[in-house]
């Protein structure tokens, strides 16, 4: 019964989204406050309806109602509760419902938090968000409905792929989808300002909090997925340049470019058209990603069950939404006024450079992802574009822009003194020299790229701190004055510093881990030892363990090293429901570095032996810590903007009072 109610709520949400669009546009056209209000009300109720539908699907999963096809295909009665819940978004149909939940959730958020927006703009934004709802909820309800019943329910479900039964993967999609879909608000706002002809500095201020929220959530979502791959897939890889990873990386890069261009638009009224374009591009990339993942057009380790019919519908949605937005932009862009003047060497100039590189990076990922398709269509031959391509081309592109980042943050608006900015970085440069010398002394084995990575990472971190020190006049004034200045800094400034430190931490971790990784593999009987770096691993026993829905062979590995003895329990788990074996890695964390142990297959012989593989992954933790610091920087910046939104609302209220008198 609850399932039928859920299906009904889904259809209801579709109708409400249509009403949300229709009423909002009619309200804008007729300047009718009741119609506008009704449109906003529809947005709120649409969210409630989707939330209800989502809850009913979750109920079906938790109670293992196998008469629902989606539950029968993706769940199992013996699965732990967390994974029953996570299985709701583990399938194509369920994840579309999660997408709809985020879409209507952000629609409701515009209504609740968008008080600072001018009335007309707000109505059009809510209306456009409603149109997006019609497209995506319509797709879910009519082409990918998760509430379909089966006439003859199976006794037991087919269960979820065991490698997906993991707590990090359980929370990865909600963050990822909130990020993807968060850009829908940015998209709707951009379409609304183009329609209303209000592309100006104020627009950048309205768009920035939404872009910050979406980008920070997407950052966390991508990082969770990457961390999961790192410890679950069993060879320590954390980014594979897989088409689906690229699909999430494209909106991330466009969003990062948008955050930077919006600053120029807000502060100087320049780059207005470009900022709107990026706002449209970010969500278009999100939709492109949804299409790539679900159409099966690209071979990927992540692809959902392939269905060409659904793929073509999603392509249609992408064409209508992205094509509509970008077409409107092409039509309106010539009317946009150029903004404030600035010299090439200035904060604006530096942010333009940032945008050139970030936009090129997004383009490169898109070209690399789609190239095999186009190549095959033209030549008939398949082509691979994989990690070695990106490591070279993308690495080159990023190295250039990251090198100038610390200088860029020190340039002043309009016209800057480049020499002065470079001179202010003397302390950062000295730190780099020291760090490189230290890395050269301590690193074993020595690799040039790892040391270059240390140099770049430390340059970014020290550069970000130098900018902060300059801002609070550390050393140029008394210490207490500097502390006072620090506490009075706007949170957006601190957010920027933090996010830039996060980039440095990531670069440091990624370069050192990729180039300094040590690996051993040895077949051991119990009692035998293998050495890796400064550590000795002894396989001291193997036992059989019964899990909730798996049986595991568990090794006891004793670790001896500089930081004293320790013990690790890597496993091989067999899931009878899927007839799959999955390795459960054991990780011994040493500061920022990981000792990563994988328990391999059993080899029969006079005495049974097992393949033990171990990796020393130096600075691996920084790879995941860096992006979390970036997201934290985004959140800090966002907390500043909230005050601004209130200020904006007060200003609007004041203007209205004034107009009334």
Partner 1 sequence: MTRKARAIIGALCALWLTAGAAGDPADQLPNPAQEGRARHLFQEIRCLVCQNESIDDSEAQLADDLRRIVREQIRSGRTDAEVRSFLVARYGKFVLLKPPFDTGTALLWLGPFGVLAAAAVIVWRRRPSGKLADEPPLTPEEQEKLEHLRSS
Is 389 a binding residue for partner 1 by CB under 8 A? The answer is yes
Which range, of 6-14, 102-110, 385-393, 430-438, touches partner 1 by CB under 8 A? 385-393
Is 278 a binding residue for partner 1 by CB under 8 A? The answer is no
Which range, of 50-58, 310-318, 423-431, 568-576, touches partner 1 by CB under 8 A? 568-576
> Considering the complex, what minimum distance in angstroms separates the CB of residue 95 from partner 1?
19
Return d(Cα 645, Cα 209) in angstroms, integer. 9
Bridge-based pairing of strands 551-560 and 535-546 is: antiparallel
Q: Looking at 15, 328, 363, 427, which residue binds partner 1 (CB under 8 A)?
A: 363
Give the sign of the dihedral formed by CA 142, CA 146, CA 149, CA 153: positive
Return d(Cα 136, Cα 151) in angstroms, integer. 27
Which range, of 59-67, 319-327, 382-390, 416-424, touches partner 1 by CB under 8 A? 382-390
Q: Looking at 81, 305, 341, 653, which residue binds partner 1 (CB under 8 A)?
A: 341
Spell out the residues 6+ positions from residue 356 whose beta carbon is closer than 8 angstroms to its own.
none
Is 337 a binding residue for partner 1 by CB under 8 A? The answer is no
What are the backbone angles phi and psi of residue 606, rounded to the nearest 5°?
A: -55, -40
> Considering the complex, what minimum distance in angstroms separates the CB of residue 477 from partner 1?
24
> Considering the complex, what minimum distance in angstroms separates the CB of residue 380 from partner 1?
11
Q: Looking at 598, 622, 625, 629, which residue binds partner 1 (CB under 8 A)?
A: 598
Spell out the residues 6+ positions from residue 286 whose beta carbon is closer than 8 angstroms to its own.
180, 181, 183, 184, 251
Which 402-421 positions form the footprint of partner 1 (CB under 8 A)?
414-415
Is 601 a binding residue for partner 1 by CB under 8 A? The answer is yes
Which of 64, 91, 100 has the alpha carbon at shortest distance from 146? 91
- In Å, how far from its chain's centre is CA 278? 17
Is 338 a binding residue for partner 1 by CB under 8 A? The answer is yes
> Considering the complex, what minimum distance in angstroms separates the CB of residue 449 from partner 1?
13
Task: Specify burial of residue 340 (Cβ count, 10 A radius: 0-12, 13-18, 19+).
Answer: middle
Return d(Cα 495, Cα 461) in angstroms, integer. 14
Q: Looking at 114, 127, 234, 251, which residue binds partner 1 (CB under 8 A)?
A: 234
Q: Looking at 582, 597, 638, 645, which residue binds partner 1 (CB under 8 A)?
A: 582
Which range, of 63-71, 74-82, 170-178, 296-304, touches partner 1 by CB under 8 A? 296-304
Which range, of 38-46, 117-125, 231-239, 623-631, touches partner 1 by CB under 8 A? 231-239
- In Å, how far from its chain's centre is CA 179? 6
Which 301-320 positions form the footprint of partner 1 (CB under 8 A)?
301, 303
Return d(Cα 423, Cα 364) in angstroms, integer. 34
Is 233 a binding residue for partner 1 by CB under 8 A? The answer is yes
Is 380 a binding residue for partner 1 by CB under 8 A? The answer is no
Return d(Cα 235, Cα 120) in angstroms, integer. 54
Return d(Cα 104, Cα 107) in angstroms, integer. 5
Which 149-188 positions form the footprint of partner 1 (CB under 8 A)?
162-163
Is 79 a binding residue for partner 1 by CB under 8 A? The answer is no
> Considering the complex, what minimum distance in angstroms separates the CB of residue 547 from partner 1?
11
Q: Looking at 382, 475, 531, 565, which residue binds partner 1 (CB under 8 A)?
A: 382
> Considering the complex, what minimum distance in angstroms separates the CB of residue 433 from partner 1?
30
Which range, of 47-55, 87-95, 440-448, 597-605, touches partner 1 by CB under 8 A? 597-605
Spell out the residues 6+ positions from residue 612 whose beta carbon is closer than 8 angstroms to its own.
521, 522, 523, 524, 530, 537, 539, 555, 557, 597, 598, 599, 600
For 558-590, b where at least 16 C-beta lie within 10 A, e where not — what string?
Answer: ebebeeeeeebebbbbbbebbeeebbbbbbbeb
Is 243 a binding residue for partner 1 by CB under 8 A? The answer is yes
Which 456-515 positions form the footprint of partner 1 (CB under 8 A)?
none
Which of 399, 401, 419, 403 has the alpha carbon at shortest distance from 411? 419
Q: Are 86 and 170 in contact (CB under 8 A)?
A: yes
Which of 531, 534, 536, 535 has the alpha carbon at shortest distance from 521? 531
Q: Looking at 155, 377, 379, 419, which residue binds partner 1 (CB under 8 A)?
A: 379
Q: Which is nearer to partner 1, 33 or 647 (CB)?
A: 647
The DSSP element (H or E) to which 609 belongs, if any, is strand 609-617
Return d(Cα 142, Cα 128) in angstroms, integer. 21
Crossing angle between the packed helical segments 491-516 and 620-660, to the nearest 10 degrees = 160
Which 517-556 positions form the footprint of partner 1 (CB under 8 A)?
519-523, 544, 546, 551, 553
Number of residues that bind partner 1 (CB under 8 A): 68
Q: Which is nearer to partner 1, 375 or 624 (CB)?
A: 375
Cα Rg of the chain, angstroms = 27
Q: Are 128 and 192 in contact (CB under 8 A)?
A: yes
> Considering the complex, what minimum distance in angstroms separates the CB of residue 149 from partner 1?
31
Residues that bind partner 1 (CB under 8 A): 162-163, 233-237, 240, 242-243, 299-301, 303, 338, 341-344, 352, 356-357, 359-360, 363-364, 367-368, 371, 375, 379, 381-389, 392-393, 397, 414-415, 519-523, 544, 546, 551, 553, 572, 574, 576, 579-583, 598, 600-602, 611, 613
């Amino acid at each position: 019964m609850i399932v039928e109610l859920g299906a009904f709520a889904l259809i209801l949400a579709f109708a409400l989204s249509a009403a949300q669009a229709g009423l909002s546009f009619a309200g804008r056209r007729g300047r009718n406050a009741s119609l506008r209000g009704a449109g906003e009300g529809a947005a709120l109720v649409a969210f409630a309806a989707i939330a209800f539908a989502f809850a009913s699907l979750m109920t079906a999963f938790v109670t293992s109602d196998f008469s629902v096809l989606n539950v029968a295909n993706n769940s199992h009665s013996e699965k732990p509760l967390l994974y029953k819940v996570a299985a709701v978004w583990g399938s194509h149909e369920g994840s579309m419902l999660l997408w709809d939940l985020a879409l209507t959730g952000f629609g409701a958020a515009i209504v609740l938090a968008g008080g600072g927006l001018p009335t007309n703009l707000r109505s059009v934004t809510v209306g456009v968000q409603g149109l997006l709802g019609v497209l995506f909820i319509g797709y879910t309800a009519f082409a990918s409905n998760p509430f379909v019943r089966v006439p003859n329910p199976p006794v037991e479900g087919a269960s979820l792929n065991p490698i997906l039964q993991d707590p990090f993967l359980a929370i990865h999609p909600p963050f990822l989808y909130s990020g993807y879909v968060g850009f829908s608000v940015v998209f709707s706002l951009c379409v609304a300002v183009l329609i209303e002809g209000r592309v100006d500095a104020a627009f950048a201020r309205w768009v920035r909090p939404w872009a910050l929220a979406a980008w920070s959530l997407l950052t966390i979502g991508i990082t969770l997925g990457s961390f999961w791959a790192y410890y679950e897939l069993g060879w320590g890889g954390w980014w594979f340049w897989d088409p689906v990873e690229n699909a999430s990386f494209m909106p991330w890069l466009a969003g990062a470019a948008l955050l930077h261009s919006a600053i120029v638009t807000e502060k100087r009224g320049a780059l207005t058209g470009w900022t709107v374009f990026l706002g449209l591009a970010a969500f278009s990339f999100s939709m492109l990603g949804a299409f790539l993942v679900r159409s099966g057009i690209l071979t990927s380790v992540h692809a959902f069950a392939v269905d060409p019919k659904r793929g073509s519908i999603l392509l249609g949605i992408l064409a209508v939404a992205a094509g509509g937005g970008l077409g409107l932009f092409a039509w309106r862009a010539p009317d946009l006024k150029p903004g404030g003047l600035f010299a090439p060497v200035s904060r604006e100039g530096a942010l333009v450079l940032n945008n050139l590189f970030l936009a090129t990076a997004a383009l490169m990922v898109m070209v690399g992802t789609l190239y095999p398709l186009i190549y095959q269509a033209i030549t008939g031959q398949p082509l691979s574009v994989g990690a070695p391509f990106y490591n070279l081309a993308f690495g080159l592109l990023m190295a250039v822009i990251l090198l100038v980042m610390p200088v860029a943050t020190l340039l002043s608006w309009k016209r800057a003194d480049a020499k002065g900015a470079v001179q202010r970085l003397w302390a950062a440069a000295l730190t780099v020299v020291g760090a490189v010398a230290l890395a050269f002394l301590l690193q074993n084995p020595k690799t040039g790229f790892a040391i270059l990575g240390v140099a770049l990472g430390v340059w970014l971190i020290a550069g970000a701190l130098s900018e902060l020190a300059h801002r609070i006049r550390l050393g140029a004034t008394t210490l207490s004055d500097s502390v006072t200045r620090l506490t009075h800094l706007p949170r957006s400034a601190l957010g920027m510093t933090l996010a830039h430190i996060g980039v440095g931490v990531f670069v440091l971790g990624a370069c050192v881990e990729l180039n300094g990784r040590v690996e051993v593999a040895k077949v051991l009987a119990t009692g035998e030892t293998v050495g890796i770096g400064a550590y000795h691993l002894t396989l001291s026993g193997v036992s059989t363990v019964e899990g909730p829905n798996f049986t595991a062979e568990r090794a006891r590995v004793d670790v001896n090293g500089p930081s004293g003895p320790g013990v690790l329990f890597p496993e091989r788990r067999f899931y009878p429901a899927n007839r799959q074996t999955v390795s459960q890695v054991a990780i011994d964390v040493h500061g920022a570095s990981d000792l990563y142990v994988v328990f391999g297959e059993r080899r029969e012989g006079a005495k049974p032996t097992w393949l033990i593989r171990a990796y020393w992954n130096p600075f691996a933790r920084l790879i995941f810590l860096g992006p979390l610091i970036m997201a934290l920087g985004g959140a800090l910046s966002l907390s500043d903007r909230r005050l601004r939104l209130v200020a904006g609302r007060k200003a609007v209220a004041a203007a209205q009072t004034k107009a009334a008198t």
